[in-house]
Structure 1
Amino acid sequence: MSFAVTRTSRSFVAPCEETPRGSLGLSFIDREPVFRYVVRSLHVFRHGREPARVIREALSKALVKYYPFAGRFADDPDGGGEVRVACTGEGVWFVEAKTDCSLEDVKHLGPPLVIPEDALLPMPSPELNPLDVLLMMQVTEFVGGGFVVGLIFVHTIADGIGLAQFLNAVAEIARGLPNPTVEPAWSREVIPNPPKLPPGGPPVFPSFKLLDATVDLSADHINHVKAQYLELTGQRCSTFDVGQSRTRAINLDPGVDVHVCFFANTRHLLRQVLPPEGGYYGNCIYPITATASSGRIASAELIDVISIIRDAKARLPDEFAKWAAGDFKDDPYELSFTYSSLFVTDWTRLGLLDVDYGWGKPLHVIPFAYLDIMAIGIIGAPPAPQKGTRVMTHCVEKEHMQAFLEEMKGFA
């Protein structure tokens, strides 16, 4: 069956009070080219009463505190060549929509999606450049009271933790709080600003034909692996089954190095300069790479793979401190996009699953943080009340998909 989504309203939502005007500088990390792209996601809620109206009004109030989100990206007026945020107060692009079905009719948007994600994400006006509008939102109301919040935001303005902080602020106001419980902090000037490397040649991007796949890992399996790792090492671990499964599936030469890359939160490493009460919502993440030979990863016990990744994580404080001091030869944020590299991001630790506009937390969050130039695995959660982990991947080409799914079945 096909279900219709009808957009009933499109407009900008501006702050409900006067906000500061002017231009704000971004941090060194914000300005990294790797973050100049849009991240799309769907947030599925079981029930709401006039959710579009409630969220729209709360958004307008939250933008008083988070007024940079109502601005636009602009070039440095002094000719420095750096992108800044022009605090214009123009607002967030906001779309209201309705469907002719219930969430149950579309299996709560479980995979594969019955409704295309583009129908549930905000469509900008033709004259808008999506990379200039910091945030766009669409609230789609379903028959029976369910609703979906579709978000598109430019990574330059915030990392995942920062976006979740903003959405939780909107949600708190929607629930009746006069102000967000966390005071937002711009503070981009305190982020390390190491010397720039001389510009290299233009980046070379590969042309992969990656396919999507979603696999649910049971809570029993995850707990078993964590308990086994704790027993053997005395340490706790995270879930990275997808890395070994992909390595086995793509079957590279055993001597070829494979890489698992991920961005680690560095707020705890900047406690001395960031506001002690929290509230910083800019990009505060650093890339970490775990590297080993394809043969080693493919033949290793999963416990050994976890140890390789943990060792990479343990290097974070030293690597970040060296980068902050300018002690590096290559920009760590200039990522290498090869088929032997897998980028992993964990959406369960950002705070997006805590957003409650007044009728409960989301059933689940569906990210579309996919770029065709990189193989990526996103760790999420299956729809509540299911337990376990949902792994959403865009990481293998057609010839390797069947083998990848068979490997992942062994972890389910």
Structure 2
Amino acid sequence: MTSSSTLTVTKSPPALIPPAGPTPRGTLSLSSIDKTVAGSGFVCLIQVFSPPSLSAARRDLGAAAAVAAMRDGFARALVPYYPVAGRIAPSGLAVDCTGEGIWFVEAAASCVLADVDGLECCPLPIPQQLLLPRPPPGEKLDGLIFMVQATRFTCGGFAVGIIFRHAVFDGQGAAQFLTAVGELARGLKAPSVAPVWDRDTIPDAPSPLPGQVTEFRLVTQVADISAESIARVKDEFKQASAASTGEVCSTFDAVTAIVFKCRTLALASALPDDDAEVRVAFAVSTRRLLRGVLPIPTVEGYYGNCVFLACVARTGKAVREAALAEVVGAVREAKEAVPARFAGWMRGVEQYDVPPLDYSTVTLSDWSRLGFDEVDYGFGAPGYVSPLNDHNNFIVQLHYVRPPPPRRGGVRVVLRCVEEPHAAAFAVELAKFA
């Protein structure tokens, strides 16, 4: 690995990419679901692309052409996705369609990807701020919706750092936009999925009450849950439910049960007593539940927020002593309650409950199937995608991502959900499922 003291990343000045053609002007309201996540601010992630198959003589020319094609893809995608080229209104509740464009940064690293372990290790050998775009001085972050940085490594590989505003996209919506960029960068005449705004068709349901925010000193960790461990937990659940319901569980159910129990065991010394509550909250996609709200032909192209929060809450003692099959059952119960709860919220008869954002609550997002790892800007799909959230110390959180080859089949968990006193114990518990 190259020493961080000798590694450099040289950035070009940020440049605006405006839409490639005329776009509508005006103001578009965000939906009530968008507004529930507006306080989450920005989402940061990185896509890592291994060196393209270019000859040494053509590598520089190929890299320059690839970045130029990517820029063109963004410019063309901003025509149908014209709200993304605008700015968040001062109220924070709408988008002003100004057509200004998105900020794009080109950068060059002084090493090959292999020198930094393919950016798969934790902590990153490159500070994340060097891999993420920043607007020029004087540009207000509050109004921005999307920014991109393409960093080229000397081997010909790329890291694409992305920052997007959560109030405008959920993860699936942002991946849909990036897929369109890739399609247009590769020469398609139009995105395969036509984008749909339609935020005003979603009922103006009540927003969640703001919770108390606490700053933590969270440690970043990465754990790989093996396919064998996932299969074992699935089998335990299947056997436990055979006499009653005969149900089977998903990979998400199994991994969530593993992580929730491991974290609860690691936090045993931090809980005031056995009856203290611990919680795992997770976002459930509600796109299929919007089929009665949005016109059916447009549901596929809707790129706004379509998530509802599910939560499992138990005493610390109950989680520590429960078999994993029981914890899986609790996760499934919380998931299965979402359709009725979401329908009640849409009718205005149920509050969007947000659990206490304290150290006893871990919030997770499943990125393993959103589509970020299938985006092709013209140099193949990324070998690895990961959130970059070392700056966030206010939400105890974790993300599921697809592990890089050759560990495909399992699930990688990117964690910022314990402080230093509990990090070692948490790692020991998770290692049992590697």
Normalised by the length of structure 2, the TM-score is 0.89
Kindly indicate whether residue 53 of structure 2 is the aligned counterpart of residue 62 of structure 1: no
**Structure 2 residue aligned with 1:374:** 395
CA contact (8 A) 1:41 1:150 kept: yes
Letter of the structure 2 residue corresponding to residue 366 of structure 1: S
Kindly indicate whether residue 325 of structure 2 is the aligned counterpart of residue 317 of structure 1: no
**Structure 1 residue aligned with 2:160:** 149
Aligned to 1:290, what secondary structure does the other structure show?
A: strand
**Structure 1 residue aligned with 2:58:** none
CA contact (8 A) 1:242 1:377 kept: no
Can you list the C-alpha shifts for 1:338-390, whole angstroms capped at 9, x where unaligned?
Answer: 11111111111211111112222111111024631221111112213322211
Aligned to 1:365, what secondary structure does the other structure show?
A: strand
Quick one: structure 1 residues 287 and 174, their matched pair in 2 at CA, closer, same or farther if it must change by over 3 Å? same
Kindly indicate whether residue 116 of structure 2 is the aligned counterpart of residue 99 of structure 1: no
**Structure 2 residue aligned with 1:20:** 24
CA contact (8 A) 2:225 2:411 kept: yes
Quick one: structure 1 residues 34 and 231, their matched pair in 2 at CA, closer, same or farther if it must change by over 3 Å? farther
CA contact (8 A) 2:36 2:207 kept: no
How many residue pairs get aligned? The number is 402
Aligned to 2:89, what secondary structure does the other structure show?
A: strand
Alpha-carbon distance between aligned partners in 2 of 1:207 and 1:235, rounded to the nearest angstrom: 38
Quick one: structure 1 residues 182 and 33, their matched pair in 2 at CA, closer, same or farther if it must change by over 3 Å? closer
**Structure 2 residue aligned with 1:236:** 249
**Structure 1 residue aligned with 2:311:** 289
Alpha-carbon distance between aligned partners in 2 of 1:285 and 1:180, rounded to the nearest angstrom: 24
Aligned to 1:64, what secondary structure does the other structure show?
A: coil
Aligned to 2:33, what secondary structure does the other structure show?
A: coil
Letter of the structure 2 residue corresponding to residue 57 of structure 1: D
Alpha-carbon distance between aligned partners in 1 of 2:42 and 2:75, rounded to the nearest angstrom: 22
Aligned to 2:221, what secondary structure does the other structure show?
A: strand
**Structure 1 residue aligned with 2:221:** 213
Normalised by the length of structure 1, the TM-score is 0.93
Q: State which of 164, 176, 200 in structure 1 corresponds to 2:175.
A: 164
Alpha-carbon distance between aligned partners in 1 of 2:186 and 2:214, rounded to the nearest angstrom: 46
Structure 1 residue 276: deviation in Å? 2.4
For 1:3-402, what aligned pairs fall within 5 Å after superposition? 3-32=7-36, 34-48=38-52, 49-50=62-63, 51-75=66-90, 83-112=93-122, 113-195=124-206, 203-233=211-241, 234-237=247-250, 238=252, 239-240=255-256, 241-251=258-268, 252=271, 253-277=273-297, 278-328=300-350, 330-332=351-353, 334-369=354-389, 371-387=392-408, 388-402=410-424
Alpha-carbon distance between aligned partners in 2 of 1:285 and 1:35, rounded to the nearest angstrom: 15
Letter of the structure 2 residue corresponding to residue 243 of structure 1: F
The unaligned stretches of length 5 or more in structure 1 are 76-80
Quick one: structure 1 residues 293 and 270, their matched pair in 2 at CA, closer, same or farther if it must change by over 3 Å? same
Alpha-carbon distance between aligned partners in 2 of 1:263 and 1:325, rounded to the nearest angstrom: 20
Structure 1 residue 210: deviation in Å? 1.4
Quick one: structure 1 residues 399 and 186, their matched pair in 2 at CA, closer, same or farther if it must change by over 3 Å? same
Can you list the C-alpha shifts for 1:158-202, whole angstroms capped at 9, x where unaligned?
Answer: 1000000000000111122111000000010122212568xx7x7
The unaligned stretches of length 5 or more in structure 2 are 53-61, 242-246
Structure 1 residue 9: deviation in Å? 4.1
Aligned-residue CA RMSD (Å): 1.7
Quick one: structure 1 residues 270 and 156, their matched pair in 2 at CA, closer, same or farther if it must change by over 3 Å? same
Quick one: structure 1 residues 212 and 125, their matched pair in 2 at CA, closer, same or farther if it must change by over 3 Å? same
342-351 or 274-283, which deviates more? 274-283
Structure 1 residue 156: deviation in Å? 0.6
Structure 1 residue 52: deviation in Å? 1.8
